[in-house]
Amino acid sequence: MTYHDPVLLKESIEGLNIQPKGVYIDLTFGGGGHSREVLNKLGRKGRLFAFDQDPDAANNIPDDNRFTFIRANFRFLKHFLRYYGIAQADGMLADLGISSHQIDVPDRGFSYRFDGKLDMRMNRESAFDAAQIVNRYAPEELTRIFREYGELSNAGQLATTIIKEREQSPVVTVSDLERVLGRFIPAKNPYSFLAKVYQALRIEVNQEMQALGEMLLQTTALIRPGGRLVVITYHSLEDRMVKNFLRSGNLEGKIGKDFFGNPLTPWTLINRNVITPGAEEIERNNRARSAKLRIAEKN
């Protein structure tokens, strides 16, 4: 089984504008597909650091003395670069999609296609999983995550139904959750609804939006002038945050102006319009269909 087929590989690597002697950061190592391509472009003196909090990703580490693997969430970017004596990097790449490996392993609990415990932890050493959210969160908390992270219009009804059912018996498996929410699952295109429910739970379990915001704000100081930030997103929440940040240097997208009214931003957009996979890539890898690539250069 392929661990993960890297999405928009050619376009994202080109976006990094790799310098042979440069220092680069793969913020989402996963199966190592993007990292291996970066190493192919680097010279003997180049360096690549890669982050991943999933212990399974360590199985994909390349045997290359230019490469350093950091088993941690990318929200700790600044801390680890300081530890390794790196003041600034020449480029950083983040592929924010969940890996094929995580989806396809049933006991990880990331997919509604397999029965198993509601888990969804990217860091398997974390004690907090999706089952705890479903069985412990107050009604208003469940409503919030389904509305904000799943963008579900009936979030309140879903929360109320879960609360009522868990009082009878805990909701701990994929089949439990689908049974509880059965009356809400549309006969036409049920997978779209289930994907939104699972996305909401996964984002909350892994604190994905908070971690993304923390990481993005650190890149401004950690990428040298002329260096590149390359980000691949897969849903509107993270894409909106990345778009705002690359446009303005902050997560709200508010562009400041100098005394003369000129816009103040630490980034120059390389692609004004997002880059998306072509039909051939989508046919080869259906999970690439929602990917959006944004590239910016540090001023």
pLDDT digits (tens, 9 = 90+) for 45-73: 999 999 999 888 899 999 999 999 999 99
Structural domain including 13 reads 9-100+208-298
The band of 105, judged by pLDDT with boundaries at 50, 70 and 90, is low
Do both 147 and 288 map to the same domain?
Answer: no
Where b means 16+ CB within 10 Å and e means fewer, 157-182 reads ebbebbeebbeeeebbbbebbbebbe
The answer, yes or no, to whether residue 112 has pLDDT greater than 60, is: no
- Same structural domain, 59 and 177: no
In terms of C-beta distances under 8 Å and separation of at least 24 residues, what long-range contacts does 107-114 make, across chains too?
109/174, 110/198, 110/202, 111/174, 111/198, 112/174, 112/178, 112/191, 112/194, 112/195, 112/197, 112/198, 114/174
What CATH code is carried by the domain that includes residue 214? 3.40.50.150
Counting residues of the chain whose pLDDT is more than 90, the rounded percentage is 80
> Where is the domain boundary, 191, 206, 221?
206
122 C-beta neighbours (distance < 10 Å), count? 23
Higher-pLDDT residue of 244 and 258 is: 244
Return the structure tokens found at 103.
Answer: 């989806």
Q: Are residues 51 and 183 in the same domain?
A: no
Burial class (CB in 10 A: 0-12, 13-18, 19+), 18: buried
Verify that 115 and 80 share a domain, yes or no. Answer: no
| pLDDT score recorded for residue 183 | 95
Residue 179 lies in a domain: yes
Residue with tokens 């609804």: 193
> Which of 206, 223, 239 lies at the terminal end of a domain, its last residue?
206
Judge whether 139 lies within some domain: yes
- For residues 244 and 91, give the distance between their C-alpha atoms in angstroms, rounded to a whole number: 19
Q: What does the mean pLDDT of the chain come to?
A: 92
Same domain for 88 and 212, yes or no, is yes
How much is the average pLDDT of 255-278? 92
Domain shared by 245 and 192, yes or no = no
CA–CA separation, 235 vs 237, rounded Å? 6
Q: Does any domain span residue 3?
A: no
Side chain identity at residue 216, one-letter code: L
Provide the β-strand partners of residue 47. 23
End of a domain among 148, 182, 206?
A: 206
Asked whether 292 and 239 are in contact (CB, 8 A), the reply is yes
Q: What is the pLDDT of residues 164-183, one digit of tens each?
A: 999 999 999 999 999 999 99
Arithmetic mean of pLDDT, 111-137: 84
CA-CA-CA-CA dihedral for 62, 64, 70, 71, to nearest 10: 30
**pLDDT value of residue 114:** 60
